[in-house]
Structure 1
Amino acid sequence: MSRARTRTTVLAGLATAALFSTAACGGGEAGSTGAEGDGGIADTITVAQVQDQTGPVAYAGLGSSEGAELAIEEINEQGFLGDGVEIELEKYDTAGEIERAASEMNKVLSDNDVSAILGPVSSQQAATVAPLVGRQEVPTVFTQAGAEGVVINDWTFRVTPPMESYYEPVLDYLAEEGAETISVLYNATFPTFALLGEEDVPAMAEERGIEVVQSLPVQMTTQDFAGQTQQIASEAPDALVMLLIAPQSVTALKQLKTAGYDGQVVATSVQAAGNIEAAGDTANGLIYPVPFSVALEGEGPTSFTEAFRAKYDKDPDPYNADGYDAMWWIARAIKASGDSSREGIKEGLEQVASEGFSGAMGELTFEGNDARVPGHLVRWENGEETLVE
């Protein structure tokens, strides 16, 4: 049963034991050992989620919450960590603010009852709090937050692969379709998009003989793209690489149509699973890479999709998959080390990362503490995602 309050203890749910029968082995006797304990698995394990629940990227934090809560249902219902052992989730809203993220993280890091943390989804917030995590030595798994400066010490981990690590299929597709010129429209405030727009996409394009004819930066506060879209339509590139947050993308696509641009638009996983739906028909044909989509096949993604639909009566998106895999990584870590203390979870996270595991995003491998998955290219058409062959 999910309780509608800040501390959420999930006690019932769907058991998908078959999916996780190959989870990391290990264990210890359940007992009263807490986050600061000397080994063993506590009866109650508290994980704090310090992520946006309100603000411009709340969709990422709220999505992560849903995925994490589904995972907790399964973990607790299965008795995955031992009879009577339960994970609790405490939620803290960073509200899109760096200062608030630091404040909320300091509060959580000093709480001796917290065994692990789901860290901020924004790269700016995550890079600010990552040094604090290392000093306080609390294992923190970040979702999203794909920029540099996040996974920087032994206590920081990331379950979402950096976007540039799975963006290659976009440029491959454009090259195969015969694109010779592209424009780039990117949110320069958002570190992941700034890195892609200023460095990665131009480098990938050059490798494939594609010319970047325009590079147009905007800010997080930009809401009107009439000037930029008119410039793009005037240049008439074969394709536009659009690196914007979800609300900006909706506006930009509508204004691109008004400006008369009819070339291929490619975007990012931020537009996935309905975030672009408000753009209506102007979003049809949009292509973007994702680490997860309901269109993916394989036991991990399909089992997760079915369980998520059963719980929430809607399709899951990449943010849901992030939270789900992050929480299962933590649970596997506790089982692997047989220790729910902070040190035990850290050691378990490292062990599980060294082996990899199957989750909602498919087969996850790791470079150190940083996840990697193959990118999948999807097309948005009339409200649905389909894989691009």
Structure 2
Amino acid sequence: MIPTRSYRKAVALVLVPMLLVVAGCGGATTEGGADGTAGGGIASEITMVGVRDLTGPVAYAGVGAARGAELAVAEINEQGFLGEGVTLNLEEIDSAGEIERASAEVTRAIADQDVSVILGPIQGQQSAAVAPVVEARQVPVVFTQSASDGVVIGDYTFRATAPMHTFYDHAAEYLGEEGLTDVAVLYNSTYPTLAELAETHFPAMAEASGLDIVENIPVQTTTQDFTAQAQAIAQEDPDAVVVLLLSAQSVTAMAQLRQAGYEGQFVGNTNNAGGNAAAAGQDAVDMVYPVDFSAAQEDPQAVDFVGSYQAEFYELPQAYAAEGYDAVWWVARAIQASGDSSRQGIRDGLAQVAQEGFTGAMGKVTFEGNDMRVPGVLVRWDGEQELIVSD
């Protein structure tokens, strides 16, 4: 169960109400006091707040990230990773798909000096709205998803999701290798991550892989009927259709493309990952899509993460869960690296860890500045599970 403001649950071994935390950025310290500035040591209670969509059209991403974060917090506390007697706590707040609500909740968290770091939001529009605020107030925030521009803008903004365009070349290369060179693109033009991929990044990838984009059709987030677009694409009869839509939109679009007579290859995006493609039934079988993480990965860290996640939540983790998990471990490594759980200490530690990189659930994690990069993999949906195509 994901805790929200109406049901606050500190994700730790015990529930520690925030009112019991002494003044400072996270409570009493193991080495002197803490007042939000660097040099205060590691607090015995360190509070994080997650602000993400736990309801609404992309709740699957917010809930997944929150669950991954919850698992990481439990492991960190159980291992005593931050020192004997140190407890990391996490409160999750639902931004419900609203920019104004996300901004208000982030502002509320900033005003609470017991909050050492903020996690999220997940939507680029929300994150771009709060990024200038956290920079001005010098509070570290670690976003997941939020792959559009205007999110990682300074010393206090960090992103624990590699932008989709940094690993989407797996798809373009696959199409080129398979000889599927005539490609149509159907994309959500109001969702920044997908719009930027369709309008800027994928055309460059297509050119590099010898692909010809024969149709490039934008739709809105509110679009629910793709009949006209499907007929236009089916008439062109491309070798592949790149479907850059939200998960629910993809289901309808692929069904209507098949109804219009299209029989070629579908290429999706991370919104189809982690079992979301199942909702499309037979229409999604053999769909391929690049992801930053898949439960089908066989490297040791991924296998361990999948096993722990299944034991806790009785399902396979989506990529969003791996992102939330690695985000919290990034924070924990930051605190350990700086020896300081104040806001400034966590900021300094996040930057230090970013310079060095680490191995997480998503594999070898590196950074460009404060922005995460991962290798990514291309997977195929066989109707029941993801299978690795290439990495």
Name the TM-score class by shorter chain. over 0.9
Q: Give the whole-Å Cα distance in 1 for the aligned partners of 2:297 and 2:34.
A: 39
Deviation at 1:3, TM superposition (A): 7.2
Matched AA of 1:138 = V
Residue 22 of structure 2 aligns with which residue? none
Deviation at 1:296, TM superposition (A): 0.9
Deviation at 1:29, TM superposition (A): 6.8
Gaps of 5+ in 1: 13-27
1:183 partnered with 2:171: no
Indicate which of 6, 9, 32 corresponds to 2:8.
Answer: 6
Deviation at 1:180, TM superposition (A): 2.3
CA contact (8 A) 2:53 2:62 kept: yes
TM-score under structure 1 length normalisation: 0.93
SS in 2 for 1:265: strand
Matched AA of 1:127 = A
CA contact (8 A) 2:287 2:380 kept: yes
1:43 partnered with 2:48: no
Q: Give the whole-Å Cα distance in 2 for the aligned partners of 1:133 and 1:242.
A: 34
Deviates more, 1:152-161 or 1:34-43: 34-43
Deviation at 1:10, TM superposition (A): 2.0
Q: Give the whole-Å Cα distance in 2 for the aligned partners of 1:314 and 1:30.
A: 38
Deviation at 1:30, TM superposition (A): 2.3
CA contact (8 A) 1:94 1:104 kept: yes
1:119 partnered with 2:120: yes
Residue 30 of structure 2 aligns with which residue? 30
CA contact (8 A) 2:240 2:264 kept: yes
SS in 2 for 1:388: strand
Matched AA of 1:225 = F
Deviates more, 1:207-216 or 1:309-318: 207-216
Residue 318 of structure 1 aligns with which residue? 319
Deviation at 1:270, TM superposition (A): 1.2
1:348 partnered with 2:349: yes
CA contact (8 A) 2:234 2:261 kept: yes
Residue 88 of structure 1 aligns with which residue? 89
Q: Give the whole-Å Cα distance in 2 for the aligned partners of 1:252 and 1:3.
A: 34
Q: 1:121 to 1:307 in 2, by over 3 A?
A: same
Residue 384 of structure 2 aligns with which residue? 383
Residue 331 of structure 1 aligns with which residue? 332
Matched AA of 1:116 = V
CA contact (8 A) 2:29 2:44 kept: no
Q: Give the whole-Å Cα distance in 2 for the aligned partners of 1:134 and 1:42.
A: 23
Q: Give the whole-Å Cα distance in 1 for the aligned partners of 2:198 and 2:217.
A: 9
Q: Give the whole-Å Cα distance in 1 for the aligned partners of 2:8 and 2:136.
A: 26
Q: Give the whole-Å Cα distance in 1 for the aligned partners of 2:159 and 2:349.
A: 14
Matched AA of 2:11 = T
Q: Give the whole-Å Cα distance in 1 for the aligned partners of 2:2 and 2:280.
A: 33
SS in 2 for 1:89: strand
Identity %: 53
Residue 70 of structure 1 aligns with which residue? 71
SS in 1 for 2:266: strand
Summarize deviations over 1:241-271 as a string: whole Å, max 9, x none.
1100111111111111111111101011111
Residue 20 of structure 1 aligns with which residue? none
CA contact (8 A) 2:29 2:40 kept: no
Deviation at 1:33, TM superposition (A): 4.1
Q: Give the whole-Å Cα distance in 2 for the aligned partners of 1:32 and 1:87.
A: 18
CA contact (8 A) 1:2 1:8 kept: no
TM-score under structure 2 length normalisation: 0.92
SS in 2 for 1:42: coil
Gaps of 5+ in 2: 15-27
Summarize deviations over 1:123-158 as a string: whole Å, max 9, x none.
111111110010011110000001111100100001
Deviation at 1:2, TM superposition (A): 9.0
Summarize deviations over 1:179-215 as a string: whole Å, max 9, x none.
2211000000110111111111112112222111111
Q: 1:257 to 1:35 in 2, by over 3 A?
A: farther
Q: Give the whole-Å Cα distance in 2 for the aligned partners of 1:155 and 1:229.
A: 44
Residue 212 of structure 2 aligns with which residue? 211
Deviation at 1:34, TM superposition (A): 4.5
Residue 25 of structure 2 aligns with which residue? none
CA contact (8 A) 2:358 2:365 kept: yes
SS in 2 for 1:41: coil
Q: Give the whole-Å Cα distance in 2 for the aligned partners of 1:324 and 1:368.
A: 20
Q: Give the whole-Å Cα distance in 2 for the aligned partners of 1:158 and 1:33.
A: 29
Summarize deviations over 1:318-344 as a string: whole Å, max 9, x none.
000010000000011001111000000
SS in 1 for 2:307: helix
Deviation at 1:375, TM superposition (A): 2.0
Q: 1:69 to 1:35 in 2, by over 3 A?
A: farther
Q: Give the whole-Å Cα distance in 2 for the aligned partners of 1:148 and 1:3.
A: 30
Moved over 3 A (4+): 1-4, 31-35
Q: Give the whole-Å Cα distance in 1 for the aligned partners of 2:31 and 2:68.
A: 27
SS in 2 for 1:276: helix
1:103 partnered with 2:122: no
Q: Cα RMSD over matched residues?
A: 1.7
Deviation at 1:43, TM superposition (A): 1.0
Q: Give the whole-Å Cα distance in 1 for the aligned partners of 2:365 and 2:113.
A: 31
Q: How does 1:243-254 map to 2 (within 5 A)?
A: 243-254=244-255
Q: Give the whole-Å Cα distance in 2 for the aligned partners of 1:231 and 1:133.
A: 45
Summarize deviations over 1:14-51 as a string: whole Å, max 9, x none.
xxxxxxxxxxxxxx972674562641111111100011
Matched AA of 2:174 = Y
Summarize deviations over 1:329-360 as a string: whole Å, max 9, x none.
00110011110000000010011111101111
Residue 242 of structure 1 aligns with which residue? 243
